[in-house]
Structure 1
Amino acid sequence: MNKAYLDNILDNSVHFSEHSCAWKIILPMLLVDKFVLDTSDAKLAKLGLQRSDSDVLASLFFNNNLLSPTQLYEAMLFSSGGMTKVLKRLEMKGLISRIPSADDRRSLLVKLEEKGEKLIRSVLLELAEYQSKLLGILDEEEKRVIEKAFKKLAYALLVDEA
């Protein structure tokens, strides 16, 4: 999208009267989200990964490298309706393994293998470097305010099952 078109949309959001403030926040947020995800997907594709693959690996990485399929699904940022397919793909690449649960031998846990841990560490580092450059135009106070606001919005969307 050209900057002039974005300005036209934002400047003419008076058509939404009392909702124009929300529009002026959500639209740029959506554009940033789309740009970041598209760029991240392209970086992942170069490594032979899909977003669902990296989400499984990252979820395992940040949760002690071992989760049941149910826990894994709950820990994932993006939902994956084809979890079995994703797990099979990652297992074939040697990035994860399925091991019997100590609690219930009939169920299998998903374990992040060393190869998968090394890969997701490098992926996360590359994405973090890219995202840091993107956020480089903001000063520290702007970053702090945005972080706090988006965290508050994200928590409001999550269902607390505690």
Structure 2
Amino acid sequence: MRPDLEPGSWPDAQSPSVALCGEIMRLAVKIRRRAETILARHHLTLSEFECLVALRLSPDGAAITPTELYERILISSGGLTKVMSHLQDRGLILRVPSPTDRRSRMLELTEEGAALVLRAMRAIREDHDSLMEQADLTEEEIAGFFRFRDKLMNVAG
């Protein structure tokens, strides 16, 4: 074995911060995979689900612009266009004329889209609830996680 690859030979990679951030990323991947498995049963990708959720959370179910949707989710603008087209082709969203600008379109959920995102969200919530129960997390531990998360989010950029 090369001496520079032996355990303990790379001190820059051995710190509590590197270990913690690495574990956070691994946990996020595991939770994401669980969600993707559940969403696949509903014939949705994670990006499609995020779009439907963002539309569902729109105040009073009001239509929103593609730009507003883009700002609410983690996806590139090109990726969003593809996702919107797919959701529209499936009858889950509508592109409707803007009441204030004839040149632009707004996005809104169809009844079918609203029903699907509700079913998918319930399945995700049940899985997350089960995960918390299996991990035997207390309310105090969950609250502590959010305090920890807030501290990191405030400085992570």
Q: Is this a same-fold pair by TM over 0.5?
A: yes
Correspondence 1:1-162 to 2 at 5 A: 15-16=11-12, 20-64=15-59, 65=61, 66-76=63-73, 78-80=74-76, 81-136=78-133, 137=135, 138-157=137-156
Deviates more, 1:94-103 or 1:132-141: 132-141
Choose between structure 1 and 2 for higher RCO, CA contacts under 8 A separated by at least 6 residues. 2
Gaps of 5+ in 1: 1-11
- Count matched residues: 145
Give the C-alpha shift of residue 22 in structure 1: 1.1
Q: TM-score, normalised by structure 2?
A: 0.82
Gaps of 5+ in 2: 1-7
Letter matched to residue 53 of structure 1? E
- Percent identity among equivalent residues? 28
* Separation in 1, partners of 2:55, 2:151: 24
> CA deviation digits over 1:120-151, x for unaligned, max 9?
11111111111122122211111101022223
Structure 2 CA distance for partners of 1:152 and 1:62, relative to 1, 3 Å: farther
User: Structure 1, residues 47-90: CA drift from partner, whole Å, max 9, x if none?
Assistant: 211111101101111123321000000011x2133222111110
Which residue identity is paired with 1:103? Answer: T
Structure number with larger C-alpha Rg: 2
**RMSD between aligned residues:** 2.1
* TM-score normalized by the length of structure 1: 0.80
